[in-house]
């Protein structure tokens, strides 16, 4: 039996600020900004609606943001809190559907409740109950929307921010999107938005009125995708695997934008050490390592490197990290931030090396890594430092 798709989108507006306000009620109704205050080139990572109304935007230099909103409270990011809050959102959602997909760690969650109406009632009832449950358990008040696909549900949540709900019925996708500004449409790249504005196209319906052949002239291979976006066509499924897939991730924001290779690799090695220690503490290893680079002009690139066998030693992780960094670092613009992520986590491989020389090299690496971990556990992380980091 075929059921019309019913996708619920939960969105905790200004997620980092909302979590900080749960931890400290004195921050409520005050302008708040989240930024790495220890860096000279700090940028705003998140801000409250009060700060937004005074002109503060994500990615804005902190000094500029403080001039626009002088009475704002500036807090450093607490990534561990945000991860725990996301887990708190996922747990109650899984009670309503096994198809739950979180969008990173920023308070966005998709649920596919197609065909569950006989158990739980209509999708809007599920959204309302889930919001009530999250508000009671976590103190967070998410926006919830219902639509036939993830694209339309996400646009609907942007319309009612910071608090509210919105329901888009099946068959109403194109009609709903037509009057919306094009910068509300997920999936359009910055350069494509700029090009559309150059053509004096400002509403989604104006894009939808053009044929794919007409859009192919300025946008080439992206034309079909843009044409589908404007008409609210999004067949992408809610991917439940992302809800339970563990990762290990660490970030660094440079004090000043840089393109100095040695300095970037030194920071990368520090992130590798932290990731390796976390993996070994949890008795895990990784088969894939990703590098996220943030450039000074706002552009971001992501590249990955995959190991034949899962690894957890700092030396093998750093080899993978340098390979991924080389793939990602292709522009001459200075870097502003660096993130290292390990996923496809598994138990360390038990398979032995075939040849005696490689087997001895592996045992030496493991013994050295175990000795370093023992020293750091006993005397602290700064008790022993690789020579390559002394200059840094």
Distance CA 248, CA 292 (A): 13
**3-class DSSP state of 147:** strand
pLDDT in the model for residue 282: 81
Distance CA 340, CA 267 (A): 10
Domain spanning 246-389, CATH class: alpha beta
pLDDT, one tens digit per residue, over 336-352 is 889 999 988 887 654 44
Stretch 185-193: mean pLDDT, rounded? 86
- Of residues 212 and 374, the one with the higher pLDDT is 212
Question: Which of the residue ranges 150-159, 229-238, 308-317 would you say has the lowest mean pLDDT?
Answer: 308-317
pLDDT in the model for residue 360: 64
Assess whether pLDDT exceeds 60 at residue 241.
no
CATH 1.10.3720.10 fits 171-244, yes or no: no
Give, in order, the Cα–Cα distances in Å from 132 to each of 12, 111, 123, 167. 13, 16, 14, 17
**3-class DSSP state of 166:** strand
Q: Can you give the pTM of this predicted structure?
A: 0.67
Assess whether pLDDT exceeds 50 at residue 243.
no
Q: Where in the chain is the domain with CATH 3.30.1490.100?
A: 246-389
* Residue corresponding to tokens 């100095």: 260
Distance CA 310, CA 275 (A): 14
**Under CATH, which number does the domain 1-154 receive?**
3.40.1170.60
pLDDT in the model for residue 272: 92
pLDDT, one tens digit per residue, over 34-53 is 987 766 577 888 999 999 99
Local confidence band at 297 (pLDDT 50, 70, 90 cut-offs): confident
Range 198-205 contact pairs with CB under 8 angstroms and sequence separation of 24 or more: 203/178, 203/179, 204/177, 204/178, 204/179, 204/180, 204/230, 205/174, 205/177, 205/178, 205/179, 205/230
Stretch 311-316: mean pLDDT, rounded? 86
Structure tokens belonging to residue 77:
């990011």
Local confidence band at 168 (pLDDT 50, 70, 90 cut-offs): very high
What is the distance of C-alpha 253 from the center of its chain?
16
Local confidence band at 72 (pLDDT 50, 70, 90 cut-offs): very high
CB atoms within 10 A of CB 160: 15
The secondary structure element, H or E, covering residue 116 is: none
Q: Where in the chain is the domain with CATH 1.10.150.20?
A: 171-244
Assess whether pLDDT exceeds 90 at residue 107.
no
Distance CA 72, CA 158 (A): 24
Residues facing 341 on adjacent strands: 249, 290
pLDDT in the model for residue 118: 87
pLDDT in the model for residue 189: 83
Average of per-residue pLDDT values in the chain: 86
């Amino acid at each position: 039996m075929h059921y019309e798709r019913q996708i619920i989108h939960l969105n905790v507006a200004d997620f980092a600020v909302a979590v900080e306000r749960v931890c400290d009620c004195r921050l409520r109704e005050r302008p708040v900004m989240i930024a790495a205050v220890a860096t000279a080139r700090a940028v705003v990572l998140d801000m409250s609606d009060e700060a937004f109304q005074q002109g503060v935007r994500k990615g804005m230099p902190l000094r500029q943001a403080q001039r626009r909103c002088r009475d704002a409270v500036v807090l450093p990011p607490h990534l561990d809190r945000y991860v725990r809050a996301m887990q708190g959102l996922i747990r109650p959602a899984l009670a309503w559907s096994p198809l739950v997909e979180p969008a990173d760690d920023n308070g966005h969650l998709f649920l596919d409740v197609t065909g569950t109406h006989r158990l739980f009632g209509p999708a809007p009832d599920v959204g309302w109950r889930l919001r009530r449950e999250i508000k009671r358990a976590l103190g967070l008040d998410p926006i919830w929307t219902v639509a036939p696909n993830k694209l339309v549900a996400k646009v609907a949540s942007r319309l009612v921010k910071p608090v509210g709900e919105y329901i888009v019925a099946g068959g109403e996708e194109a009609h709903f999107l037509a009057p919306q500004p094009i910068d509300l449409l997920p999936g359009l790249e910055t350069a494509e938005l700029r090009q559309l504005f150059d053509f004096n196209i400002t509403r989604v319906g104006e894009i939808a009125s053009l044929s794919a052949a007409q859009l192919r002239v300025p946008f080439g291979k992206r034309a079909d995708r843009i044409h589908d976006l404007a008409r609210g066509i999004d067949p992408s499924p809610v991917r439940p695997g992302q809800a339970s897939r563990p990762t290990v991730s660490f970030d660094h924001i440079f004090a000043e934008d840089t393109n100095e290779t040695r300095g970037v690799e030194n920071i990368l090695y520090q992130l590798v050490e932290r990731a390796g220690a976390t993996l070994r503490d949890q008795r895990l290893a990784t088969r894939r390592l990703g590098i996220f680079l943030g450039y000074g002009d706002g552009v971001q690139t992501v590249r990955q490197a995959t190991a034949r066998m899962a690894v957890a030693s700092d030396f093998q992780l750093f080899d993978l990290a340098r390979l991924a960094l080389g793939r990602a670092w292709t522009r001459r613009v200075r870097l502003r931030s660096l993130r290292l992520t390990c996923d496809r986590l598994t138990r360390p491989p038990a398979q032995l090396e075939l040849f005696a020389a490689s087997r001895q090299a592996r045992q030496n690496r493991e013994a050295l890594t175990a000795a370093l971990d023992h020293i750091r556990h006993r005397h602290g992380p700064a008790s022993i430092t690789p020579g390559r980091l002394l200059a840094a």
